[in-house]
């Protein structure tokens, strides 16, 4: 009988999680598959709105502190427009 597959228990620090969510918070899409580091597979290039909103509520304030509330082109972040203040 094959062995049961075990999922690793390693935790990702907040800075790594912020980096993984960066493109999704800015544009609403994970262009480079960075969310695989936090357990969202590349096959689903866009997590559900519920997943994004949960991450935004948890990480949004730290994300704005680290990266600012305006993207490079001068418009507000996608997550800020979609879900409001964290």
pLDDT one-digit tens code per residue, 21-41: 999 999 888 888 888 888 777
How many other CB atoms are found less than 10 A from the CB of residue 82? Answer: 14
Mean pLDDT for the chain?
Answer: 83
- Residue 85 pLDDT greater than 70, yes or no: yes
Q: Where do the structural domains in the chain lie, given as residue ranges?
A: 14-83
Q: Are 23 and 31 contacting, i.e. CB atoms less than 8 angstroms apart? A: yes
- The distance from CA 1 to its chain's CA centroid, rounded to whole angstroms, is 37
Per-residue pLDDT at 68 exceeds 90: no
Q: Is a pLDDT exceeding 60 seen at residue 44?
A: no
Band the pLDDT of 79: cuts 50, 70, 90: very high
């Amino acid at each position: 009988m094959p062995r049961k597959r075990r999922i690793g228990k390693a935790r990702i620090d907040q800075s790594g999680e912020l980096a993984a969510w960066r493109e999704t918070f800015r544009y609403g899409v994970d262009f480079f598959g960075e969310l695989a580091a936090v357990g969202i597979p590349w096959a689903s290039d866009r997590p559900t709105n519920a997943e994004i909103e949960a991450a935004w509520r948890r990480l949004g304030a730290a994300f704005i502190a680290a990266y600012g509330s305006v993207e490079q082109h001068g418009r507000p972040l996608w997550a800020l427009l979609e879900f409001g203040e964290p």
